[in-house]
Amino acid sequence: MSTLSPLAAAFRQTEYPVGGHGRRNLDVLKEVINELDGTVESDIYGTGEGIEAFQAEMAAYLGKEKAVFFPSGTMAQQIALRIWCDEAGIRKVAYHPLSHLEIHEEDGLRELHQIQSILLGEKDRLIRLDEILELQEDIACLLLELPQREIGGELPPFEELVAISAHCRAKGIKLHLDGARLYEVLPYYQKTAADICALFDSVYISFYKGIGGIAGAILAGEEAFTAKSKVWKRRHGGDLISLYPYYLTAGHYFKQRVHKMPQYYEQAVELAALYNSCHLVTTLPRVPVTNMFHVRVALPKDKLEPILIALYEETGVGLSHFLREINEHTCGFEVSIGDCYARIPKNELKRALERLDASLQEVNWPM
Ligand SMILES: Cc1ncc(COP(=O)(O)O)c(C=O)c1O
């Protein structure tokens, strides 16, 4: 029996899902494996030609001395912060209240590393420069997430990043980049990954979000830092005897998609404008700054769900498989543009959004 929600089940039947790169099924692995020479040796506990070449390639892309492949960003980032805390002799770090570490990692920093987190800024906006400049507590490290996913993928101006970096250097505070979606911010900033990473002491990037791989992360920085991170990776059991299914797929989809980020970004701007022309709908941010944004609909979740299901069945266009309740009057979902968007005929997409607008105009809900 299917465990999918009715919305997810209707979404799965659509011919034209709007976000992402397609289904996360075994074809993601098969596309890569089928092209490979089966006699190539596996990596062993983080060593071997293949993994080392990939790490060197990523270090060069990020403009860092060294890079280490990790099975997950959760592991990589907790380790990065642990290293910076040990070096400073301070067990405190600061980050946004909706950082992945704060809301999705079951208190890993505190439980595994006895590191306290200082939450900077508010849940509905970016951390401001003055909040960093005025921070009174001694911290070992400040973590910035670019883009800030939980508020729709917002970004500070580049000059602000430069000012934050200069302040941290002057104060001896390490600056770490949660760059799970780093590639996605480059078109907006009109910078290279290395330009951005030069402002940070350590950097994490992911291979399964905008890149669409299976899993995996890179942690990069100076050699003294990455050498310590390898020891911690071993302690955490992150040195799987073979990581090749992850780094090979990571490398494959990185090459296939990293240059498409400007296209995804433009398409996100186009789609957000269509959403904003619908009754009761707004996007966060109103004009996206990356390939992602959040859609907010001023209706309770249980009122929007049947509208979307009917829309998917009628138009074949799938807007989202999931609805998040924001409060009793509002719900929403995240959009992240990938390869699927270009496959939708423009007229079909427009028709679907017009249908959404018409359904929301008709809805009987007290405002
Ligand atoms: C911003 C951000 N940081 C860190 C992570 C953790 O990555 P992983 O799932 O590889 O542990 C995620 C995952 O969604 C993320 O979105």
pLDDT tens, residue by residue, 86-144:
999 999 999 999 999 999 999 999 999 999 999 999 999 999 999 999 999 999 999 99
CA distance 32 to 30: 5
Q: How far is the CA of 227 from the centre of ligand 1 (A)?
A: 22
Q: State which ligand 1 atom lies nearest to the alpha carbon of 217.
A: 10
The runs of H, that is alpha helices, within 261-345 are 261-276, 301-315
> What beta strand segments (E) does the chain contain?
16-17, 66-70, 92-95, 116-119, 141-145, 174-179, 202-206, 217-221, 281-284, 292-297, 317-318, 324-327, 330-336
Ligand 1 pocket, mutate which of 74, 182, 183, 290 (most atoms under 8 A from CB): 74
Which pLDDT score, from 0 to 100, does residue 226 have?
A: 98
Q: What percent of the chain has pLDDT over 90?
A: 98
Band (pLDDT 50/70/90 cuts) for residue 178 is very high
Q: Which residues does ligand 1 sit against, CB inside 6 Å?
A: 72-74, 100, 145, 149, 178, 180, 206, 217
Beta partners for residue 335, in sequence order: 293
Beta partners for residue 17, in sequence order: 318
Average pLDDT over residues 21-32: 96
Q: How far is the CA of 116 from the centre of ligand 1 (A)?
A: 20
Ligand 1 pocket, mutate which of 104, 106, 112, 249 (most atoms under 8 A from CB): 104
Q: How far is the CA of 303 from the centre of ligand 1 (A)?
A: 31
pLDDT tens, residue by residue, 259-283:
999 999 999 999 999 999 999 999 9
pLDDT at 1 over 60: no
pLDDT at 37 over 70: yes
Q: State which ligand 1 atom lies nearest to the alpha carbon of 74.
A: 11
Nearest residue (CA) to ligand 1, atom 7 = 73
Q: How far is the CA of 214 from the centre of ligand 1 (A)?
A: 13
Q: How far is the CA of 77 from the centre of ligand 1 (A)?
A: 9
pLDDT at 337 over 60: yes
Q: What percent of the chain has pLDDT over 70?
A: 99
CA distance 107 to 89: 20
Q: How far is the CA of 174 from the centre of ligand 1 (A)?
A: 20
Ligand 1 pocket, mutate which of 95, 126, 146, 206 (most atoms under 8 A from CB): 206
pLDDT tens, residue by residue, 61-85:
999 999 999 999 999 999 999 999 9
What's the pTM? 0.96
Q: State which ligand 1 atom lies nearest to the alpha carbon of 208.
A: 10
Q: How far is the CA of 99 from the centre of ligand 1 (A)?
A: 9
pLDDT tens, residue by residue, 247-259:
999 999 999 999 9
Q: How far is the CA of 362 from the centre of ligand 1 (A)?
A: 39
pLDDT tens, residue by residue, 277-312:
999 999 999 999 999 999 999 999 999 999 999 999
Q: How far is the CA of 179 from the centre of ligand 1 (A)?
A: 9
Q: State which ligand 1 atom lies nearest to the alpha carbon of 70.
A: 10
Band (pLDDT 50/70/90 cuts) for residue 3 is confident
Helices and strands in the chain: count of H runs, count of E runs: 15, 13
Tokens of 277: 């022309």
Over the chain, what is the mean pLDDT? Answer: 97
Ligand 1 pocket, mutate which of 100, 143, 214 (most atoms under 8 A from CB): 100
Which amino acid appears at position 31 of this protein? E
pLDDT tens, residue by residue, 214-246:
999 999 999 999 999 999 999 999 999 999 999
- Residue-range domains of the chain with CATH: 6-22+260-362 (3.90.1150.10), 43-241 (3.40.640.10)
Q: How far is the CA of 18 from the centre of ligand 1 (A)?
A: 22
Question: Running DSSP on this structure, what letter comes out for residue 248?
Answer: H
CA distances (Å), 215 to each of 67, 218, 244, 250, 253, in order? 16, 11, 11, 8, 11
Which pLDDT score, from 0 to 100, does residue 129 have?
A: 96
pLDDT at 330 over 60: yes
Which pLDDT score, from 0 to 100, does residue 2 have?
A: 63
CA distance 250 to 54: 9
Band (pLDDT 50/70/90 cuts) for residue 367 is low
